Amino acid sequence: MRTLYYIGLDVHKKTIAYCVKNEQGRLMGRGTVEATRQGLRQWLKGLPGPWVGALEATLFTGWIYDFLKPHAVAVKVAHPAMLKAIGASKKKNDRIDAEVICDLLRVNLLPECYMADERTRALRRMLRYRNVVVTMATRMKNKMAGLLMEVGAPYNKKKLHGKKYFRELLENLEEAPESVVELLRLSRGQLEMFTTIQRRLVEQLAADRALIRRVTLLQSIKGVGEVTALTWALEVGDPARFGSLKHAISYCGLCSAQRESAGKSQRGPLSKMRNKHLQTILIEAAKLAPRWNPELAAIYQRELGRGNANRATLAVDKRRSAFVAREVPQTQVA
């Protein structure tokens, strides 16, 4: 029977610190390897035998995880926030961090987090890039309105970003400085570019064969649009990984943090332990969902009657998330 080795990896931008131990906890090796594919290939040749690895979830984790997985018995990714709580110590450096990860893996106490497959992560990367582009487009819209306000030029807020209205507006800006007119033209060009990019990204994502059926099913729920459906499908991945609806709501960031001591419980603001990309889209969509879904509209009005619009929005989002988490038409779950 061959010995299984355990390896903890502390990943950074340019280097990876590693620690290798056997099943009895004996140190078999430690050091630093260059964070490149070539560096990892050379490092893999010197490993003593079959191994299980673990690394912390970071910006660089994805490609390292995909590269090492075929060479290992298993590769696990640790939840960074929970890992800090377990591995907190007075002395901290890369070598110690790698050993802590290695020991947690060896004794089966590693706080493992969900790792989506490579295809899902590639599509998720496109969706998040689209969100960045939309944010930049919104900033450009606000800048255009700001330029007009700086020179006291009257404009129609609802029509400002229409092509025909904007062209006519520029022709009639007689008292505005030429520099402002030029800046408005540049801003308009940037806005059109951002709009085109985000539209193409959404079309490309919606045309993905693996997503078409799932997105169509999610959109059958009134109040769930294309972007919301795509975000849920890609950010959540497999909904079966949630043990209950409460876990799904917590992952979406729709519940507050809880502090309980001596029989007294206190709720704080919305918890920061969530998927921020999913939370942002869901809350923004919840503000529009009552217009399309009578049941959600009734929930919104009921909570609004208690005097809190934010509470009403969260109530709508929680109810809609209950529909979406099951990924079946609303008529089957209402």
Q: pLDDT truncated to tens, each residue of the chain (334 aa)?
A: 578 999 999 999 999 999 999 999 999 999 999 999 999 999 999 999 999 999 999 988 999 999 999 999 999 999 988 887 676 777 788 899 999 999 999 999 999 999 999 999 999 999 999 999 999 999 999 999 999 999 999 999 999 999 999 999 998 888 889 999 999 999 999 999 999 999 999 999 999 998 999 999 999 888 888 999 999 999 998 888 888 888 888 888 888 877 777 777 777 777 788 889 999 999 888 888 888 888 889 999 998 888 788 888 888 888 888 877 765 443 333 2
Output the 3-class SS for 216-259: HHHHCCCCCCHHHHHHHHHHHCCHHHCCCHHHHHHHHCCCEEEE
- State the pLDDT at residue 38: 96
- Say if CB 56 and CB 11 are below 8 A apart: yes
pTM of the shown model? 0.85
- Say if CB 101 and CB 113 are below 8 A apart: no
- State the pLDDT at residue 330: 39
- Say if CB 222 and CB 290 are below 8 A apart: no
CATH tag, 5-106: 3.30.420.40
DSSP single-letter state for residue 177? -
- State the pLDDT at residue 1: 58
- State the pLDDT at residue 326: 67
